């Protein structure tokens, strides 16, 4: 049985903890590894090593840090297939989906390669008599990331490449459910020449999360997960004096206007709703067709598509959707479907009871489609995080917008239309952090930043891109005057331009 190791100070080792949890292959239901839940002493040792290593790394020129990033990116490109297989083995997503995850993570490393330019400050000459002023962005020290199961390679790369390029040392606590992909990425970063102690991986559960949030030498924490945990992380971390960016849950709506290309909209909903078995914080889980005719036609187009979804393990090259991550999560999704039926939603396609020959013990849920869902229903209000798409019918564009505004989450949204006026009004007025116009999953590219509004994000900074650089650095502004420009006599008034 494989034992998942920690990685601290450039070395991998098995935790001394007596607390261990199994890691499963969701496609088969079989245990594939065992994960020790690290002790707080091991966290303290990791932070102490990181603190020492960061001093030299923070003083390393941005150009030299960028060269390590370039080597890391080249190795990620070379071993992308291996990383994707590690993801599929423990998460369950099909290989092409896992490969896409790796590619989006590599994009963030690519962005971090530009760190010499990204850290350039501003300079102003003669802000006062013979006085110049300039700004500088400096690293925080030791920072940490707590990442979810649904993107075990990409989400950590939303965090540590930027943080490390900025001159920080990083402590990563991955999900207990799929820890192997982050370990392979750590191997590649070390092979790229990253100094020992700059990236450390310490596995654990809530005890480790609390240890990170309370540790006085960890200056900032990035988190991605559910809203209740994101709020907890934000409150506990900021109370301890840390910077915190905590990305929470979502209930992403897609409005389908009467003038939309319905085949295009239905295809978009299939990928956005059922890709990665719906285990995405940017999945579209609510379709909002405007008008009865639009709704009837959309559901008619969706039904056969959902029924014909090709579901299977990642080893099946034809599979479009794999299993969900754990048996417990599968049962939770089935419970949501039960609730939808009980509360009166129309179950158009039922994914309960799906079994795959040869993989009967796998954690599969079939694609599920509901119609006539109402806002008071549990399946609408809560994030299901599974292959369940709800159709909520609305009579007008404004009714659809009001529906979105009434939800507690505001992560992502989309509209499908040929009407430029409607699209522009939607983009301008909708109170959601990420918006797609005829794009179902509007995840920003790596040189922009990712983040929702309302209860989808706690903290003042979105993640990765320019916002990531700001989060992992602090601003220093220096005002200078040299003796040749100083006249005799004391100055008692506040300095100003005269």
Which of 205, 65, 70, 89 shows the shortest CA–CA distance to 153? 89
281 as an active site residue: the answer is yes
Q: Which of 108, 113, 166, 281 is catalytic?
A: 281
Q: How far apart are CA 284 and CA 251, in angstroms?
A: 7
List the catalytic residues: 281
């Amino acid at each position: 049985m494989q034992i998942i190791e920690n990685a601290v100070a450039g070395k991998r080792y098995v935790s001394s903890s007596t607390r261990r949890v199994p890691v499963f292959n969701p496609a088969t239901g079989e245990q594939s590894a065992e994960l020790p839940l690290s002790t707080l002493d091991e966290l303290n040792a990791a932070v102490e090593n990181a603190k020492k290593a960061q001093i030299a790394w923070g003083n390393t020129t941005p150009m030299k840090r960028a060269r390590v990033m370039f080597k890391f990116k080249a190795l990620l490109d070379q071993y992308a297939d291996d990383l994707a297989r590690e993801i599929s083995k423990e998460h369950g997503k099909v290989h092409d989906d896992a490969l896409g995850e790796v590619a989006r993570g590599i994009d963030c490393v690519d962005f971090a390669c530009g760190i010499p330019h990204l850290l350039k400050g501003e300079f102003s000459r003669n802000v006062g008599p013979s006085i110049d002023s300039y700004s500088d962005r400096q690293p925080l020290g030791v920072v940490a990331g707590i990442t979810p199961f649904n993107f075990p390679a990409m989400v950590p790369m939303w965090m540590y490449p930027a943080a490390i390029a900025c001159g920080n040392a990083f402590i990563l606590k991955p999900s207990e459910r799929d820890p192997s992909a982050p370990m392979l990425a750590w191997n590649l970063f070390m092979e790229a020449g990253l100094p020992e102690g700059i990236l450390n991986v310490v596995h654990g559960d809530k005890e480790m999360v609390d240890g990170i949030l309370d540790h006085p030498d960890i200056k900032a924490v990035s988190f991605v997960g559910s809203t209740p945990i994101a709020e907890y992380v934000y409150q506990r971390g900021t109370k301890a004096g840390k910077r915190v960016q905590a990305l929470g849950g979502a209930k992403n709506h897609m409005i389908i206007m009467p003038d939309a290309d319905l085949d295009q909209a239905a295809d978009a909903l299939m990928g956005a709703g059922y890709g990665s078995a719906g285990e995405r914080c940017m999945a579209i889980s609510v379709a909002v067709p405007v008008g009865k005719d639009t709704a009837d036609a959309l559901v008619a187009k969706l039904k056969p598509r959902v029924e014909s979804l090709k579901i299977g393990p990642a080893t099946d090259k034809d599979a479009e959707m794999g299993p969900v991550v754990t048996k417990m999560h599968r049962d939770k999704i089935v419970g949501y479907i039960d609730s939808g039926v009980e509360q009166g939603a129309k179950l158009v396609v039922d994914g309960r009871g799906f079994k795959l020959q040869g993989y009967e013990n796998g954690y599969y849920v079939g694609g599920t489609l509901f119609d006539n869902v109402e806002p008071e229903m549990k399946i609408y209000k809560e994030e299901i995080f599974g292959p369940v798409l709800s159709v909520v019918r609305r009579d007008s564009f404004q009714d659809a917008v009001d529906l979105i505004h009434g939800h507690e989450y505001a992560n992502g949204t989309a509209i499908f239309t040929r009407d430029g006026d409607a699209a522009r009004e939607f983009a301008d007025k909708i109170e959601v952090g990420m918006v797609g116009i005829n794009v179902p999953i509007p995840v920003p590219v790596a040189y922009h930043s990712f983040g929702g509004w309302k209860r989808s994000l706690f903290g003042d900074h979105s993640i990765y891109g320019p916002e990531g650089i700001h989060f992992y650095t602090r601003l220093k502004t220096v005002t200078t005057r040299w003796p040749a420009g100083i006249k005799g006599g004391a100055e008692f008034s506040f300095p100003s331009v005269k």
